[in-house]
């Protein structure tokens, strides 16, 4: 398969079968860093959001127990099909999983906050999650990258950038529309795949996030004042940040401490 990505344009606005909202996480049997991330999501999202967890028999009981003890929201738990795992079920074929219809058809919610276990929602309470539900896809910012100004295009010519996939807000209808109409992009990282589908989509340009929108939603690099502070969420916090910016992020987003900022800041001292 060529690295060149060229999608059949889809509509940036798709008909929605559902109107509800849900947080979603995928967890492999190792459960690395799961519970600090669960706490950050549980505390910060409104109670009208459900929670979908995709895991295995190895972690189902512990996850269900955690929710019984710590949450009043509805939990939907599903086993990840074996075809999306490798190494004896120990690891998830993440991009392959998200580029398949099965997961999106299983989630009965239009607005989906997808969170990896190296991401967290900041605990400052200054940004409403519903600001971001208008976007078909928005992920964590990476410097000033935006749209066709994409470092991904160095590897995948034609790629667009609308945010790193570690923490994202997505519309179920748009995910399914991309997959239905664009098989040729399969095999690329899923955030490149869906960003590029959005970049080549037709319709309301205001539904394609700017770099400023992405920095407000979540950050992976560059926690600088010129990009706007604070952010709603973080992914791999501390990457390509100076010590001063990491200290500012720690003050604004204590939840970042538990998903990598502690180690990166300590290494900077």
User: Which residue segments constitute the domains of the chain, with CATH numbers given?
Assistant: 21-268 (3.90.550)
pLDDT of 19 reads 78
pLDDT tens track for 203-222: 888 899 999 999 999 999 88
pLDDT tens track for 73-92: 999 999 999 999 877 656 88
% of the chain with per-residue pLDDT over 90 = 71
pLDDT of 206 reads 87
pLDDT of 192 reads 95
Q: What is the mean pLDDT of residues 20-42?
A: 86
Mean pLDDT of the chain: 90
pLDDT of 1 reads 38
Q: What is the mean pLDDT of residues 237-258?
A: 93
Whether residue 3 is predicted with pLDDT greater than 70 in this model: the reply is no
State the Cα–Cα distance between residues 154 and 231, nearest whole angstrom: 27
Burial-class residue 266 by CB neighbours within 10 Å (0-12, 13-18, 19+). Answer: exposed
Helix (H, G, I), strand (E, B) or coil at 99: coil
Query: Which residues, listed in sequence order, are joined to residue 140 by a DSSP beta bridge?
Result: 164
pLDDT of 45 reads 95
Q: What is the mean pLDDT of residues 162-167?
A: 96
Whether residue 171 is predicted with pLDDT greater than 80 in this model: the reply is yes
Please report how the helices 57-70 and 34-44 are oriented relative to each other, as an axis angle in degrees rounded to 10: 40
State the Cα–Cα distance between residues 196 and 156, nearest whole angstrom: 10
Residue of 218, 227, 220 lying closest to 260 (CA atoms): 220
Q: Distances in Å between the alpha carbon of 113 and those of 187, 226, 239?
A: 23, 26, 22
State the Cα–Cα distance between residues 36 and 227, nearest whole angstrom: 27
pLDDT of 50 reads 95
pLDDT of 116 reads 94
pLDDT of 109 reads 96
Which has the higher per-residue pLDDT, 187 or 130? 130
pLDDT of 203 reads 82
pLDDT of 30 reads 61
Whole-model pTM above 0.75?
yes
pLDDT of 152 reads 93
Q: What is the mean pLDDT of residues 43-61?
A: 93
Which has the higher per-residue pLDDT, 218 or 187? 218
């Amino acid at each position: 398969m060529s690295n060149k990505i060229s999608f059949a344009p889809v509509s940036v606005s798709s008909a929605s079968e559902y109107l509800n909202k849900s947080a979603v996480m995928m967890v492999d049997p190792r459960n690395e860093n799961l519970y600090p991330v669960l706490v950050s999501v549980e505390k910060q999202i409104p109670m009208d959001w459900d929670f979908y967890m995709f895991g295995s028999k190895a972690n189902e009981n512990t996850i269900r127990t955690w929710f019984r003890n710590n949450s009043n929201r509805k939990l939907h738990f599903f086993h990840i099909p074996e075809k999306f795992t490798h190494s004896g079920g120990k690891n998830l074929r993440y991009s392959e999983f998200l580029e398949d219809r099965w997961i999106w058809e299983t989630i009965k919610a239009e607005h989906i906050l997808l969170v990896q276990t190296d991401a967290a929602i900041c605990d400052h309470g200054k940004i409403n999650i519903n600001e971001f539900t208008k976007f078909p896809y928005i992920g964590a910012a990476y410097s000033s990258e935006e749209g066709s100004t994409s470092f991904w295009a160095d590897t995948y010519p034609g790629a667009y950038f609308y945010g790193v996939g570690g923490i994202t807000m997505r519309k179920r209808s748009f995910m399914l529309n991309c997959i239905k109409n664009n098989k040729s992009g399969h095999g690329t990282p899923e955030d490149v795949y869906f960003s590029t589908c959005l970049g080549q989509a037709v319709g309301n340009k205001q539904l394609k996030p700017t770099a400023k929108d992405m920095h407000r939603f979540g950050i992976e690099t560059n926690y600088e004042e010129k990009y706007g502070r604070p952010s709603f969420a973080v992914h791999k916090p501390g990457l390509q940040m100076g010590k001063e910016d990491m200290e500012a992020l720690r003050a604004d987003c204590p939840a970042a401490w538990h998903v990598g900022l502690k180690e990166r800041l300590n290494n900077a001292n």
